[in-house]
Amino acid sequence: MHPAFSILFFTTLAGAAQGLVFALALAVLFGLELAPGFLALALGVAEVLLVAGLAASFMHLGRKTRAWRAVLMWRTSWMSREVIVLPAFIALVALWWLSLRLGVGAPWSWLLPVLALCGAVLLWYCTAMIYACLRFIEEWAHPLTILNFTLIGLSSGLVLACAMAALAGEARLVHAFGPYALVATLAAWAARGTALRRNAGIRHKSTLQSATGIRTQKLVQKSMGMSAGSFNTREFFHGASLAALGNMKLGFQLLAFVLPALLLAWGIAGAGTLPWLLAALVQAPGLLAERWFFFAQARHPQNLYYQVVS
């Protein structure tokens, strides 16, 4: 598939924001005493990430004025459900932030965090199911897709929460959630590695022989069948070489998982603020690379006709 950068930014930014809100909600519900100013600031950052992700997603639309029609198919479309859940989650985070600014007490002090937890999980599920429900793209049609979206978002959110807490001097949050950030990052790496191994071993149901009806054992595609690119070659094929895919695969694992895990371990050992900040900065481009590879590795069946440009 062709990775659209608007979708890469949307899923990465929104996933990190969901993880950040998830971490803050757990901290409040577990009675971790956070400064109201820090909590409001962190929620504000999450809100900015969510709105920025939503704005990025609009760049992928052909006719942006018709975006509202996406909600009409909510009974059958996971994308429509995501379009409903995302603004609701943004409004919920904004309401939580506003309640802190106005000093509103119980029951909002525990109800809003609970709703935020549920909203984050529901949004992860809706976003992941957009891809996991596509049975003809076998790399995506698996529960690992849902698990990876959730764990990667949780990892990035926890790392971001710890980095912000370290900067703000919120040592309690860093000490309490630092180990969980490391566990979430390692779990995300393990789940993503499992998905990579599974996808590499897939024997696709459709082949050149079944697509063309030519039953010879040795059948090689030499041309895409036209003199220039088309919608098919632009939207369903990334155009990168196998070497580039291999480098991207190695790169995102190092940046999104390995280096952040080492930096988190360094931070847990008591090295101060620097490792937490470095972990967040290193992981950000790794997450974008991971999401690019997620789309690029998926093989649309139509590429049996159009994947080769000669």
Q: What is the CATH number of the domain that holds 157?
A: 1.20.1630
Determine the residue type at 282: V
Q: Residue 17 falls within a domain, yes or no?
A: yes
pLDDT for res 227? 54
Give pLDDT, residue 60: 67
Task: Decide: 308 and 224 in contact? Cβ < 8 Å.
Answer: yes
Share of residues in the chain with pLDDT > 70 (%): 87
**pLDDT value, residue 272:** 83
Cα(70)–Cα(61) distance, rounded to whole angstroms?
11
Convert the pLDDT of each residue in 114-132 to its tens digit.
999 999 999 999 999 999 9
> Which letter, b or e, does each residue of 257-274 get, where b requires 16 or more Cβ atoms within 10 Å of its Cβ?
bbbbbbbbbbbbeeeeee
Lowest-confidence region among 74-83, 176-185, 257-266: 74-83
Is pLDDT larger for residue 214 or for residue 192?
192
Q: Give the residue-averaged pLDDT of 63-75.
A: 73
Look at residue 230 in the predicted model and tell me its pLDDT: 66
Residue 187: pLDDT over 50: yes
Q: What is the pLDDT of residue 229?
A: 61
**What percentage of the chain has pLDDT greater than the value 90?**
57
SS3 content of the chain, % helix, strand, coil (to 5): 75, 0, 25
**What is the Cα–Cα distance from 127 to 122, expressed in whole angstroms?**
9
Range of the domain at 100: 5-61+70-202+221-306
Question: Residue 27 phi/psi, 5° resolution?
Answer: -60, -40
Long-range contacts formed by 214-219: CB under 8 A, 24+ apart: none
> Per the domain annotation, does 212 fall within a domain?
no
The residue-averaged pLDDT of 165-190 equals 95
Provide the pLDDT for residue 310. Answer: 46
Is 277 within the bounds of a domain?
Answer: yes
Residue showing tokens 């996971």: 78
Query: Shortest CA distance to 165 belongs to which of 19, 31, 34, 298?
Result: 34
Per-residue pLDDT at 220 = 75
Least confident range from 148-162, 219-233, 248-262: namely: 219-233
Residue 5 has pLDDT above 50, yes or no: yes
Closest CA to 178 of 288, 25, 40, 27: 27
**Residue 207 covered by a domain:** no
Looking at residues 100-109, what average pLDDT do you find? 77
Q: Is residue 211 part of a domain?
A: no
Q: Does residue 135 lie in a domain region?
A: yes
208 is a domain residue: no
Over residues 76-97, the pLDDT tens digits come to 889 899 999 999 999 999 999 9
- Is residue 196's pLDDT more than 90? yes
Written as one letter, the residue type at 216 is T
Measured between alpha carbons, how far is residue 78 from residues 42, 73, 234, 243, 307 in Å?
29, 9, 24, 34, 28
Cα–Cα distance measured from residue 289 to residue 49, given in angstroms and rounded to the nearest whole number: 18
- The b/e string for 76-99 (b: 16+ C-beta within 10 A; e otherwise) is ebbbbbbbebbeebbebbbbbbeb
- Kindly give, in sequence order, each residue whose CB lies less than 8 Å from that of residue 96, ignoring residues fewer than 6 positions away: 43, 108, 112, 113, 116
DSSP 302: T
Question: Token match 């995501």: residue?
Answer: 82
pLDDT higher than threshold 80 for residue 267? yes
Rounded to an integer, the average pLDDT of 156-163 is 97
Q: How far apart are the first and last CA of the chain?
A: 19
Task: Kindly state whether residue 40 falls inside one of the protein's structural domains.
Answer: yes
- The more confidently predicted of residues 254 and 218 is 254
Count of domains for the chain: 1
